């Protein structure tokens, strides 16, 4: 139990407008509730909620509440809210009372109006563009919700709460921040003056149920034989780049591929925000660090990749290759760390290679282009291209091998491609995954691991 302040005043009108609060205080509840109700009812409940919330803040200290277990806080809040309701003679049904208590708990304990969205596992992304526009992505489609924050101050408060959990803060002087929610969801916050229309919050929801290659086959993202070929490529230590646009499913696919790594192997993962979930016991997870408020102490992806070469890794997995660490990763792939993997933002396998080339150039090495390409050609075995199509579906559009060089050009061969054929009356993309029938260049590698029989079987199935 914690000490309460003076008893809440009984005589205030229920619809009293919210008072201004310093940014550190708990934010009052959202003006409009999440669930669709008639607007008049919404307004009445919302006014009652704000009035009760203000009384609650008058009677208890939110910092004391923060020190308690969430279940205890809920219990305390329920008691006090029931007391306030009876003192104010408010007319609320039992269901409405539960809604009010739930929303107030979400404000004191969690992320306010976003709480109902965080509880849903079908949402891939939550995108908040200022206080009155909250979008979600489900099944590859983006839609506007009816969730609103009371004002930008409340949203800013919630952003602050998220980033302070990872020891950072956002304000005018440091308006960009990456963070992570307690459940592992990845968060980006950008606030005014950089975000012109108010604080902007983007959350990539952490999925409790991780997708597997079998699930991706079920969803029609790739065919069973193609999935089998990827499993074998991963098990026989091919160096693999997963390429794709934003939100195309790169990290998901990389996570799927890591399942086929032998449990005895020592793996080091390097990520900006830990998203991968490796099953293998001998895994070391590393995470980059942004600079602190004084602008020092940053640890970049390149620092991590370089360091992990001194950690005797058997495989290096880089969450996202986006800068000069590309050079170090290529070196690692070329020097006995077979089976290393990473994702890269690119729209085609060929683009992925050009991006790697540019990233190496960013590192300031004055290497001739041909030398860099030779490095890439001998390091990378396979590029898997993920795409989010215009109907929102996610597909593996290419499984492409890097074969070698012809003159100055890296040669590629597709093993599987997705052929776009049109769309149906409901706007869904129609197409098919086609095997090219070419013999994989990693055949000998598969034979070395005793998996050439499986590879032959998968390829013959793909033609069936």
Ligand X SMILES: Nc1ncnc2c1ncn2[C@@H]1O[C@H](COP(=O)(O)OP(=O)(O)OP(=O)(O)O)[C@@H](O)[C@H]1O
- Among residues 160, 248, 288, 397, the one that binds ligand X under rule CB under 6 A: 248
In the complex, the smallest distance separating the C-beta of residue 244 from Mg ion, rounded to whole angstroms, is 9
How many of the chain's residues bind ligand X (CB under 6 A)?
A: 16
In angstroms, what CA-CA distances link 195 with 22, 163, 270?
A: 22, 17, 29
Binding partner selected for residue 462 from ligand X, Mg ion, none, CB under the kind-specific 5 to 8 Å limit: none
Nearest to 148 by CA among 172, 113, 104: 113
Binding partner selected for residue 49 from ligand X, Mg ion, none, CB under the kind-specific 5 to 8 Å limit: none
- Among residues 200, 252, 258, 387, the one that binds ligand X under rule CB under 6 A: 252
- Among residues 185, 234, 251, 258, the one that binds Mg ion under rule CB under 5 A: 251
* 3-state helix, strand and coil shares in percent for the chain, rounded to the nearest 5: 35, 20, 40
Q: Which is nearer to Mg ion, 250 or 373 (CB)?
A: 250
Do residues 259 and 276 lie in contact, with contact meaning Cβ atoms separated by under 8 Å? no
Q: Print the binding letters for residues 208-247 with ligand X: x by CB under 6 A, - otherwise.
A: ---x----x--x-x----------------------x-xx
In the complex, the smallest distance separating the C-beta of residue 390 from ligand X, rounded to whole angstroms, is 15
Q: Print the binding letters for residues 115-154 with ligand X: x by CB under 6 A, - otherwise.
A: ---------x------------------------------
394 binds ligand X (CB under 6 A): yes
Please list, in sequence order, all residues whose beta carbon lies within 8 angstroms of the beta carbon of residue 85, skipping any fewer than 6 positions away. Answer: 52, 92, 97
Please list, in sequence order, all residues whose beta carbon lies within 8 angstroms of the beta carbon of residue 434, skipping any fewer than 6 positions away. Answer: 416, 417, 418, 419
Nearest to 314 by CA among 341, 337, 348: 337
Strand 134-138 vs strand 315-318: parallel, antiparallel, or unpaired?
Answer: unpaired
Q: Which is nearer to ligand X, 75 or 122 (CB)?
A: 122
In angstroms, what CA-CA distances link 194 with 27, 170, 189, 190, 200?
A: 23, 12, 11, 7, 10
Nearest to 152 by CA among 109, 181, 112: 112
251 binds ligand X (CB under 6 A): yes
Number of other CB atoms surrounding residue 100 within 10 Å: 24
249 binds ligand X (CB under 6 A): yes
In the complex, the smallest distance separating the C-beta of residue 361 from ligand X, rounded to whole angstroms, is 23
CA-angle at 392, arms to 184 and 250, nearest 5°? 45
In the complex, the smallest distance separating the C-beta of residue 241 from ligand X, rounded to whole angstroms, is 13
Q: Which is nearer to ligand X, 244 or 435 (CB)?
A: 244
- Residue number of the CB atom closest to Mg ion: 251
In the complex, the smallest distance separating the C-beta of residue 252 from ligand X, rounded to whole angstroms, is 3
In the complex, the smallest distance separating the C-beta of residue 162 from ligand X, rounded to whole angstroms, is 17
**Taking the chain, what is the end-to-end CA distance rounded to the nearest angstrom?**
69
- Among residues 88, 148, 250, 445, the one that binds ligand X under rule CB under 6 A: 250
Do residues 429 and 393 lie in contact, with contact meaning Cβ atoms separated by under 8 Å? yes
- Sites of contact with Mg ion (CB under 5 A): 250-251
- Sites of contact with ligand X (CB under 6 A): 124, 204, 207, 211, 216, 219, 221, 244, 246-252, 394
């Amino acid at each position: 139990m914690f000490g309460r302040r003076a008893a809440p005043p009984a005589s205030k009108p229920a619809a009293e407008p919210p008072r201004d609060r310093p940014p550190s205080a708990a934010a009052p509840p959202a003006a409009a509730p999440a669930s669709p109700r008639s607007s008049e009812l919404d307004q009445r409940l919302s006014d009652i909620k704000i009035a009760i919330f203000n009384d609650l803040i008058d009677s208890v200290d939110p910092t004391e509440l923060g020190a308690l277990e969430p279940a205890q806080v809920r219990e305390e809040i329920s008691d006090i809210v029931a007391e306030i309701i009876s003192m104010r003679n408010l007319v609320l049904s039992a269901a409405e009372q539960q809604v009010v208590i739930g929303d107030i708990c979400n404000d004191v304990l969690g992320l306010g109006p976003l709480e109902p969205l965080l509880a849903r596992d079908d949402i891939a992304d939550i995108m908040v563009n200022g206080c009155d526009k909250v979008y979600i992505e489900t099944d590859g489609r983006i839609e506007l919700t009816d969730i609103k924050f009371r004002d930008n101050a409340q949203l800013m408060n919630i952003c602050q709460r998220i980033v302070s959990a990872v020891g950072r803060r956002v304000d005018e002087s440091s308006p960009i921040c990456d963070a992570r929610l307690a459940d592992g969801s990845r968060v980006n916050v950008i606030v005014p003056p950089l975000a012109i229309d108010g604080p902007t919050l983007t959350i990539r929801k952490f999925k409790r149920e991780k997708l597997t290659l079998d699930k991706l086959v079920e969803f029609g993202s790739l065919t069973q034989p193609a999935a089998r070929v990827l499993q074998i490529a991963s098990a026989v230590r091919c160096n693999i780049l997963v390429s794709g646009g934003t939100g195309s499913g790169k990290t998901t696919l990389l996570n799927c591929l890591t399942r086929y790594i032998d449990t005895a192997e020592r793996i080091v993962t390097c990520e900006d925000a830990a998203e991968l979930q490796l099953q293998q016991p001998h895994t070391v997870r590393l995470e980059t660090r942004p600079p602190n408020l004084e602008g020092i102490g940053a640890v970049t992806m390149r620092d991590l990749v370089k360091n992990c070469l001194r950690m005797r890794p058997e495989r290096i997995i880089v969450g996202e290759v986006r800068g000069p660490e590309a050079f170090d990763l290529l070196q690692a792939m070329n020097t006995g760390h077979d089976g290393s993997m990473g994702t890269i933002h690119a729209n085609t396998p060929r683009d992925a290679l050009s991006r790697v080339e540019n990233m190496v150039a960013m590192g300031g090495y004055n290497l001739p282009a041909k030398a860099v390409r030779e490095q890439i050609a001998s390091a990378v075995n396979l590029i898997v291209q993920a795409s989010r199509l215009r109907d929102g579906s996610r597909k593996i559009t290419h499984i492409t091998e890097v074969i070698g060089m012809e003159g100055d050009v890296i040669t590629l061969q597709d093993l599987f491609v997705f052929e776009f054929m049109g769309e149906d009356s409901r706007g869904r993309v129609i197409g098919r995954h086609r095997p090219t029938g070419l013999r994989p260049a990693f055949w000998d590698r598969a034979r070395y691991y005793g998996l050439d029989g499986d590879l032959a079987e998968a390829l013959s199935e793909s033609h069936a």
